[in-house]
Every structure is written in C-alpha cells, then in structure tokens.
C-alpha cells in the first residue's frame, strides 16, 4: 500500500516521454505562428512607413514644381540661357537641355530671379541695369526683370532640379539674385555655386507626364506643345501660347519586400499671360578683355594666366615669338592658363580674348622675355662671390637641350663635404649621379649633381668654388645614350652613378657621360671605344674628376683614353665635336706659348645654341698667374669673368675667360697645358 502511493506521487510531477513527443510539435507550431505574426506586423509597419515617405516625396516634388511654374514667364522646349561648362546635361557645355528625343521627359521653365527667397514676404524682382532706367531711379520697377532657367530632368533614375543663370548674372542686375547656378553633385567649377536638388529616386520616363494647356481651366491639351516627337522649333512656337502645365508623377518602389506606389498631379499656371514679353532672359554683355599675367618658371618656358572675366564662357589665346607670325594656342576653352616652350632670350607676345554669346572682347596682351639664366636659390650659407664674377645660375639651351650651370660662390666658415649648394628644378635634372671636376681656390674641387636636383660640394674650399663649365643632358631628353664598350679592366662604377655611354645631341656634338673605375691607367690606355663618327679629329686632353685630379684623352682611332688620375674612378662627363665638324676659328697664342702639331690646334667655335667651345694644346710659354695666352674674338666672349678647370702636364690648372676676350692662365705648368673641353654659354 505504501509503495503504490509513492509511485502515483512520482508520476504526477512531470511528463512522460510519450507526452513530450506529443506536446513538442504543438509548441513549435505555436512559436512559429507567433513569429509569423510578428514578422507580418513588422513588414506591415515598414511598408506603411515606406508608403508614407514616398507619398511625402511625391507631394513635395509636385509642390516645388508648382512654386517654380507660378514664377515662370515662359515654358521652353530647350534651355534659353547659354549653358556654360559644366552645366550641360552630361556636365559639359556642349550638352544642353532639349525636351525632345531620348531626354524628352523634362520641364524647362524661364523664371524670374528674386532678391530673396521667393516665399519671403520681402522678396522682390531683380531688375536689369539701365533697361531702361538706372538702378537708383524711382522708376526702376519699369525695368526688365532678370530671368533664369529652371530645369526638371531625369538622369540615372532620379528626378533633379537645376538652376541655370545668365553668365553675367552677378553684374547685369541692380542687385545680385538670390538664386545661384547649380551643377551635378561632385562637379566643381567657377560657375557652380551650389548642387542640383535631388528630388526623388526610382523615376523613369514612364513615371513622369508633362502636359501643356492654353488656359488655366482648359481641358484640351496643347498637343504640339506636349509632343516630345515635335521639333524644338515647333514646340517652342506652341509653348508661347501655353499658360498652364499639368504634371503627373507615378512612382513605384519596394519596401520590406512589398511593392508600394504613390501618385500625384498638379496643375499650375505661370506668372501671367504677358510675362514672356515683359521678362525675357537677361542678355549677356560682351565681356571685358582679360588681364594677362606672365611668369617664367623655367629657363625654357613662360606661363600665362588670367583671372576669371565676368560673363565670359570661353577664352582664345594666340602667341608669337620675337614678333613672328601669330600661333593659335587654344580657342573656345574655359582654361585660363597656357604655357609656351621656347629658347632663352626669346620674346613671347600673347593676346587673349574672352567670349560669350554676346560676342568677343578686345585683346588682353602681354609680353615676356625668357631669361638667359635663372638664378639659383643658394643654400647652407653659400652666397654669390659677387662682381666681376658670374652669379650662380642655370639654363637650358635651345636646339640641343643641354643644361648649363655657371657662377662663382663662397661660404662663410668651412665647406662641408656633401652639403647642398643649390638645386635644379624638375625637368633639368640628371637621370643618375654625375661628377665634375671644378676649380676651387686654385685647387681641384669636385661637385656632384644628383637625380633629385641637388648640387653638392664633395671637395673644395669655402673661399670660392666655381660652377662654370658644368653641362649635361637631363633625364627625359630625347637623346638615347649608347653604352660605351669598355676595355683594359675598366668597368662601370655602378650603384647610383651614371653608366658610361655616348650620344649625339641636336647640334651634332658627342655627349659623353658616366663613371668608370678599376682599369689600367697607363698613358693612352683605351678605356672605351667610340664609333668613328663620334671621335674627334685630334688628340684631346680633358680634366676628369678623380679623388684628386684626373685626365682623360680622346683620339681619332679608338675613342676614350686613360691619361692620369689613378684607377679608383674617372668621370667621363664631357662634350666635344667629332671630326666631321669643321667650323672652327683659329686663335693666336701669346706670351711665348706655341702649338704642338701632334695635338689640338688652338681654335674656338660657337654653336647655334650659344655654347662656345675651345680646344688647343700648347707648351713652353710664360706661366705667371694672369698671363694672357690668347684673346677670343667678338661674339665668343662671356658676359662675366668665368673661372674654368683645365689639365696642365696632368695636373689641375685654372683658366679665366674675361668679358673682353682675354684668356688667362693660373697655376699651370709650361711643360704643356690645354684648353681642350672648355665651354661656356655666350650672352
């Protein structure tokens, strides 16, 4: 009896397995039904909310259209205000708005401009200046109002509103209009003052219907005015008699997986039936001539700019060089800058005109001379040495494209190896590091020019340091260097240094470049072989940068020779004329110096790009510092005293060339000396 009671009590406290199997599906179904109810209710809420938002967007769009129609003077088939770039349909000036063809679903209005928001009680019309009364006149309200175009158009399934004002809208009226030109979002330009208004998305051509009527209460549609299949001309005539527009908007979207639709219609009548004659579009006035400004950012170009001309839509620029024939730069462009590339000392004349639909301005003119030299901005306490020596500067030569340096500089204190003296601008820099031997306080100095444009002293004296005679072809020049075939153990130094190579520049000179090392230095050992067309007719001796002083030779049978300086490295950066060049002027040696028929005769030449080049091997003359060894003829002289580097009996020497033509020697041996490879730019 006791055991039976315990059993009965235990079973009353839970479900059996059989009961659980029966009840579980019922519970799951109940939960599922509950969730379905919740989801359904949520979807209904979201759908209802989406429908409400869409209804608001449709009504807000129609209200805005109605406001603009009530201020309009004319319904248009195409824009009547000239479209500047980037206000066209495709964000350019050439794609205007026309309510025909594939873009036919548009509403184009000519509306009046106002002094304030049109909804403001204090807003008034903007009147055109002096049409016919002055702005200060009490009768100014008799003047013609300024108008603009308001365009409703479809693009990328969105209905947009754009404001197009006359190009002279800031000057044509007695006050500035409250309205501003608008452009597509993300499009910038001097004419864009605000963005188009994005009205409603999900709209296509079938969603928007525009109808025109000839009376506010008319029921008969003006078929020609409403037919986008008609020509712009036919529609424009028909629209002159239309006073009322009817706009219907049907929009369908998806919200919470459900399709929602809203529609609306408005009929609106324009300002009054005579508005199109009393308030025509403001007529642009012929713009003023541009005020042109010239600058010379490089030694081979001039850039011309001018500010925005009020009312101008495009500009035309012409130029000539040294008074020659006029050359068209560009026309019909909205650009306001133009660069002319030409050689040093050339005079560039420019003339610029501004245009709009009213006509073309007179010429804005200016002229500029490309300077012969662009002064360096010296760094690290380096300064110009001063008169009578040339200032630190650079240029690029026409015809050849050679970059040339000049100047005598100094520094307070002690020169620091590796510090920057100055730097060259982009476009006038070498492709790799170049080494040059220069003269510095009567000893051999070294200057390196880097691809970043920095000109750095490696060895030299702060008392004075010459940059004269440094010339090279910059990176990006049209010339292609052919690798120089090396021999006798000579190899390219490698790393950041320029590879040994040669080319012919635009004048016909052989341009040699590169850094080599490790070869045999015995006199006249061949470093590299040049082709016959690139070799000189005589034996040259040219100073070549080395740890102290180096010398290389050039001859007519092999090419580049080792002369002196050790085999650590030798710089091959130089230029010379090949044997085919014969336009030389003989020089007369002085102070006991005589020629040696085995080597170069003393001569000088000047190329069409203005570079003067000397050559000549001499011996046995007077060696006192300042001794004049020859005199250059007129036209072959520098503008300022020029301090050059030479080699004399395989040691460093200095050659000064004066504006009067005298060529003086300093620190040279009378065993032999040379003026081979000395070159400078004549004025």
Q: Are 246 and 210 in contact (CB under 8 A)?
A: yes
Tokens of 472: 């090279």
Cis before 388 (ω within 30): yes
Residue 528, classed as helix, strand or coil, is strand
Architecture of domain 479-580: Sandwich (2.60)
β-sheet bridge partners, residue 436: 447
Which pLDDT belongs to residue 434?
96
Q: Assign domain 378-472 to its CATH architecture.
A: Sandwich (2.60)
Tell me: domain 293-369, CATH 3.40.605.10, correct?
A: no
In angstroms, the CA 397 to CA 680 distance is 11
Q: What pTM does this model have?
A: 0.60
Encode 113-146: b = buried (16+ Cβ within 10 Å), e = exposed.
bbbeebeeeeeebbbbbebebeeeeeebeebbbb
Token digits of residue 528: 């590299």
Burial class (CB within 10 angstroms; exposed 0-12, middle 13-18, buried 19+) of 422: buried
Q: Hey, do 293-369 and 583-683 end up sharing a CATH topology, with the first three levels equal?
A: yes
- CA separation for the pair 210, 381 (Å, rounded): 76
Instruction: Give residue limits of the domains in the chain.
Output: 52-278, 293-369, 378-472, 479-580, 583-683
CA–CA gap between residue 269 and residue 74 (Å, rounded):
11
Say if residues 395 and 372 touch (Cβ distance below 8 Å). Answer: yes
Instruction: Return the percent helix, strand and coil in the chain, to nearest 5.
Output: 15, 40, 50
Please give the helix or strand (H or E) that residue 56 lies within, else none: helix 17-71
Count of other CB atoms within 10 angstroms of residue 409: 26
pLDDT computed for residue 299 by the predictor:
81
CA distances 463 to 93, 413, 489, Å, are 62, 9, 39
**Residue 127 has which token pair?**
């009147």
With a CB cutoff of 8 Å and minimum separation 6, the contacts of 175 are 115, 126, 135
CA distance 114 to 126: 5
Q: Which residues have C-beta within 8 Å of that of residue 40, sequence separation ≥ 6?
A: none
Helix (H, G, I), strand (E, B) or coil at 661: coil
509-536 burial by CB neighbour count: b if 16+ within 10 A, else e?
bbbbbbbbbebebeeebbbbebeeebbb
Q: Quickly tell me which residue has 């986008």 as its tokens.
A: 228
Longest dimension (CA), the chain: 154
For 433-443, give one letter per residue: b (16+ CB within 10 A) or e: bbbbbbbbebe
Closest CA to 99 of 81, 83, 77, 80: 77
Which of 680, 562, 664 shows the shortest CA–CA distance to 614?
680
Q: Round to whole Å and give the CA distance between 159 and 153.
A: 6
Paired with 499 in beta bridges are none
Please give the Cα distance from 670 to 538 (Å, whole number): 21
Low-confidence ranges of the chain (pLDDT < 70): 1-15, 18-20, 24, 27, 29-30, 32-47, 93-95, 99-104, 256, 273-284, 566-567
CA atoms of 357 and 81, how far apart (whole Å)? 10
CATH class for domain 583-683?
mainly beta
Round to whole Å and give the CA distance between 34 and 30: 6
- Cα–Cα distances (Å) from 83 to 162, 173, 197, 396, 405, in that order, read 11, 19, 18, 44, 51
Q: What is the pLDDT of residue 3?
A: 45
Q: What pLDDT was estimated at residue 578? A: 97
Residue carrying the six token digits 């070549």:
544
Q: 455: helix, coil or strand?
A: strand
Distance separating alpha carbons of residues 504 and 581, to the nearest angstrom:
12
Tell me the C-alpha to C-alpha distance, in Å, between residue 187 and each of 97, 108, 194. Answer: 17, 21, 10
Which residues does residue 68 pair with via DSSP β-bridges, in sequence order?
none
């702060």: which residue's tokens?
462
The H helix count followed by the E strand count for the chain is 5, 51
Q: What's the pLDDT score for residue 553?
A: 95
The phi and psi torsions of 613 (rounded to 5 degrees) equal -125, 135
**Sheet of strand 465-466: strand arrangement:** 382-384, 408-411, 465-466
* Element holding 11 (H helix, E strand): helix 2-11
For the chain, give the number of residues. 683
Residue labelled with tokens 């005109």: 353
Cβ 406 vs Cβ 392: under 8 Å = yes
CA-closest candidate to residue 290, choices 280, 305, 300, 277:
305
Q: Tokens standing for 353?
A: 């005109």
Cis omega (within 30 of 0) for bond into 182: no
DSSP bridge pairs for 422: 455
- Report the C-alpha gap between 460 and 633 in whole angstroms: 32
Give first-to-last CA distance, the chain, whole Å: 136
Rounded Cα–Cα distance for residues 435 and 573 (Å): 7
- How far is Cα 360 from Cα 289, in angstroms, rounded to an integer? 9
Q: What is the dihedral of CA 564, 568, 573, 575, to 10 degrees?
A: 30
Nearest-5° Cα angle at 420, 416 to 426? 170
Q: Kindly give, in sequence order, each residue whose CB lies less than 8 Å from that of residue 532, ignoring residues fewer than 6 positions away.
A: none
* 131 token code pair: 């049409």
Q: Residue 677, by phi and psi: left (phi above 0), alpha (psi -120 to 50) or beta?
A: left
Q: Are 637 and 501 in contact (CB under 8 A)?
A: no
């Amino acid at each position: 009896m006791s055991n039976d009671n315990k059993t009965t009590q235990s079973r009353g406290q839970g479900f059996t397995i059989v009961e659980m199997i029966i009840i579980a599906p019922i519970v799951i179904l109940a939960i599922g039904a509950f969730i379905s109810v919740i989801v359904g209710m949520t979807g209904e809420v979201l759908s209802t909310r989406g429908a409400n938002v869409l209804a608001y967007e449709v009504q807000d769009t129609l209200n805005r259209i109605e406001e603009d129609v009530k201020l309009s003077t004319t319904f248009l088939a195409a824009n009547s205000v000239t479209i500047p770039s980037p206000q066209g349909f495709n964000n350019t000036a050439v794609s205007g708005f026309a309510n025909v063809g594939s873009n036919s679903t548009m509403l184009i209005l000519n509306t009046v401009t106002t002094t304030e928001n049109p909804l403001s009680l204090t807003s008034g019309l903007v009147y055109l200046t002096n049409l016919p009364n002055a702005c200060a006149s009490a009768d100014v309200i008799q003047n013609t109002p300024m108008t603009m175009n308001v365009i409703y158009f479809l693009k990328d399934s969105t209905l947009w509103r754009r404001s197009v004002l006359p190009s002279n809208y800031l000057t044509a009226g007695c006050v500035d209009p409250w309205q501003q030109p608008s452009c597509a979002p993300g499009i910038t330009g001097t004419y864009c003052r605000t963005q188009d208004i994005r009205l409603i998305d999900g709209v296509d051509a079938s969603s928007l219907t525009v109808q025109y009527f000839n009376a506010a209460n008319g029921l008969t549609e003006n078929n020609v005015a409403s037919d986008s299949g008609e020509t712009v001309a036919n529609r424009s005539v028909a629209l002159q008699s239309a006073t009322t527009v009817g706009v219907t908007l049907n929009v369908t979207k998806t919200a919470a997986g459900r399709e929602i639709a809203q529609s609306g219609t408005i009929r609106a009548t324009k300002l009054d039936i005579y508005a199109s004659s009393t308030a025509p579009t403001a007529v642009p006035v012929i713009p003023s001539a541009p005020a042109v400004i010239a600058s010379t950012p490089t030694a081979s170009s001039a850039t011309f700019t001018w500010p925005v001309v009020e009312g101008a839509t495009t500009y035309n620029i012409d130029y000539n060089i040294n008074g020659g024939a006029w050359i068209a730069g560009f026309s019909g462009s909205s650009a306001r800058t133009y660069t002319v590339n030409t050689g040093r000392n050339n005079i560039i004349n420019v003339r610029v005109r501004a245009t709009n639909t009213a006509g073309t301005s007179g010429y804005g003119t200016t002229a500029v001379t490309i300077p012969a030299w662009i002064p360096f901005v010296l760094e690290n306490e380096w300064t110009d040495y001063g008169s009578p020596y040339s200032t630190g500067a650079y240029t690029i030569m026409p015809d050849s494209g050679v970059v040339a340096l000049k100047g005598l500089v100094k520094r307070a204190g002690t020169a620091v190896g590796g510090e920057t003296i100055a730097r060259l601008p982009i476009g006038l820099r070498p492709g790799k590091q170049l080494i040059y031997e220069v003269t510095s306080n009567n000893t051999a100095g070294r200057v390196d020019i880097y691809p970043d444009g920095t000109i750095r002293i490696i060895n030299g004296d702060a008392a004075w340091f010459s940059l004269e005679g440094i010339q090279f072809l910059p990176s990006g020049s049209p010339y292609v260097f052919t690798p120089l075939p090396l021999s006798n153990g000579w190899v390219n130094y490698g790393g950041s240094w320029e590879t040994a190579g040669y080319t012919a520049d635009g004048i016909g000179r052989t341009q040699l470049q590169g850094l080599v090392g490790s070869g045999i230095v015995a006199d006249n050992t061949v470093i590299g072989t040049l082709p016959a067309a690139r070799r000189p007719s005589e034996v040259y001796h040219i100073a070549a940068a080395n740890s102290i002083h180096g010398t290389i030779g050039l001859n007519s049978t092999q090419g580049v020779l080792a002369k002196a300086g050790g085999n650590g490295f030798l710089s091959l950066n130089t230029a010379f004329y090949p044997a085919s060049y014969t336009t030389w002027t003989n020089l007369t040696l002085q102070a006991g110096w005589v020629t040696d028929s085995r080597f170069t005769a003393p001569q000088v030449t000047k190329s069409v790009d203005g570079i003067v080049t000397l050559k000549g091997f001499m011996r046995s003359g007077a060696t006192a510092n300042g001794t004049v060894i020859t005199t250059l003829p007129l036209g072959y002289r520098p503008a300022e005293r020029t301090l050059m580097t030479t080699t004399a009996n395989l040691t460093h020497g200095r050659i000064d060339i004066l504006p009067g033509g005298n060529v003086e020697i300093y620190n040279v041996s009378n065993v032999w000396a040379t003026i081979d490879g000395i070159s400078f730019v004549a004025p």
